[in-house]
A and B are shown apart, each in its own frame.
Chain A
Amino acid sequence: EAQVTQNPRYLITVTGKKLTVTCSQNMNHEYMSWYRQDPGLGLRQIYYSMNVEVTDKGDVPEGYKVSRKEKRNFPLILESPSPNQTSLYFCASSLQAPRGGHEKLFFGSGTQLSVL
């Protein structure tokens, strides 16, 4: 089944403790992206990747890191989480970048992160 898999689904951590949220897609998609969802703000892009070893900042990249060593995986890393990073996170992928608007984004099930 074609899907984007995120883990974990829920995560509670404390300030400053490094964590990684994994994202994997099995559709051979080139483009992958991370969004965070906050009440009243919708979804905002954190980072995106056009292909292996190609990543770039989105609208809210501060406090996050990503890597794209393999096509299928795009982990989101919080080196020193803070309470303002408490949010619902989504990984998304598409065959190619949505530059032309043609591509439909496929989303993972989300990761609810709480930083205490």
Chain B
Amino acid sequence: AQKVTQAQTEISVVEKEDVTLDCVYETRDTTYYLFWYKQPPSGELVFLIRRNSFDEQNEISGRYSWNFQKSTSSFNFTITASQVVDSAVYFCALHSGGYNKLIFGAGTRLAVHP
């Protein structure tokens, strides 16, 4: 079975705090891809990152960083020095096998307060 779990439904932080969004996935495939998407209040879905299962290197992009750990089947997302503009719903997603779709987690709503 393929599944993505985002256990944190909502997170509230004050600006400049660091925050980590958790993502745990399940798949039996050895080749798979993980994604993060951001959904700001305007509603559209914005692609943030794609990582394949053979690349466990952590990635940093400005204030964003991703920690991929196959041993714990996790692909966590950290925002450093959060800003109000980071307020959004964040989705983690999985693609594996021959399926023609992404499997999304339920999403984590992040509220960053001034």
Query: Within 8 Å CB of B91, what residues of A?
Result: 42-43
Query: Within 8 Å CB of B96, what residues of A?
Result: 101
Partner of A98, one of B9, B47, B101: B101
Query: Within 8 Å CB of B32, what residues of A?
Result: 101
Question: How many whole Å from A90's CB to the nearest CB in chain B?
Answer: 6
Q: Which of B62-70, B72-80, B102-110 contacts A (4 or more CB under 8 A)?
A: B102-110
**Complex Cα–Cα for A97 and B101 (A):** 8
Partner of B47, one of A41, A44, A102, A105: A105
**Complex Cα–Cα for A60 and B44 (A):** 21
Partner of B107, one of A42, A59, A108: A42
Question: How many whole Å from B55's CB to the nearest CB in chain A?
Answer: 12
**Complex Cα–Cα for A59 and B101 (A):** 10
**Residues on B facing A (Cβ under 8 Å):** 4, 6, 9, 31-33, 35, 37, 42-45, 47, 50, 52, 91, 93, 95-96, 98-102, 104-107
Which 8 A-B residue pairs are closest in the complex by CB-CB distance?
A101-B33, A42-B104, A107-B45, A43-B104, A101-B95, A45-B101, A42-B106, A110-B43
